[in-house]
Amino acid sequence: MPDTPLLKLALLGDAAACAASGLLLAAGAGALAVPLDLPEGLLRGAGLALLPWAAFVGFTGSRAAPARGAVLTIIAVNALWVLDSLLLAAGAFGLAPGRLGTAFILAQATIAGGFTALQILALRRAAVPA
């Protein structure tokens, strides 16, 4: 796959956002649980899951030419994260986050969706011959 600066930027930005969110949730789950009206275990678990994911996304983005299969996997997992976030915000998992919790979830979904859209755009551009 050809080297595309937009794809690398989208992947590395995604990795940085995942790492920051993962650290915040893993380390701050106890402090965030009450104001977000979400279980501490859910927050900590999500944070701990984001950390190795951030490493994978960052590793993929650091390659001279990111592997298409890895990028497609990242896009698919990001899309699933966005869908699950929307369902969580809507109370579909038997949880009822408060207003702040809903805003937090939707902000994360928006950021993940934005990076996913950039990754799709960059992947399409890479597939078009110059």
pLDDT tens for residues 59-103?
Answer: 999 999 999 999 999 999 999 999 999 999 999 999 999 999 999
Alpha-carbon distance of 31 to 25, in angstroms, equals: 9
CB 120 within 8 A of CB 127: no
Q: What one-letter code names the amino acid at 7? A: L
> Which of 18, 24, 25 has its CA nearest to residue 42?
25
Q: Which tokens belong to 14?
A: 């995604």
Q: Residue 2: which region, alpha, beta or left (left: phi > 0; alpha: psi -120 to 50)?
A: beta
Count of structural domains, the chain: 1
Contact 53/59 with Cβ under 8 angstroms?
no
What pLDDT score was predicted for residue 61? 96
The pLDDT, as a whole number, for residue 4 is: 85
pLDDT tier, 126 (very low <50, low <70, confident <90, very high otherwise)? confident
pTM: 0.92
Q: Is the pLDDT reported for residue 130 higher than 60? A: no
Boundaries of domain holding 50: 5-127
With the CA atoms of 28, 106, 89 and 74 taken in that order, what torsion angle do they form, in degrees rounded to the nearest 10?
Answer: -80
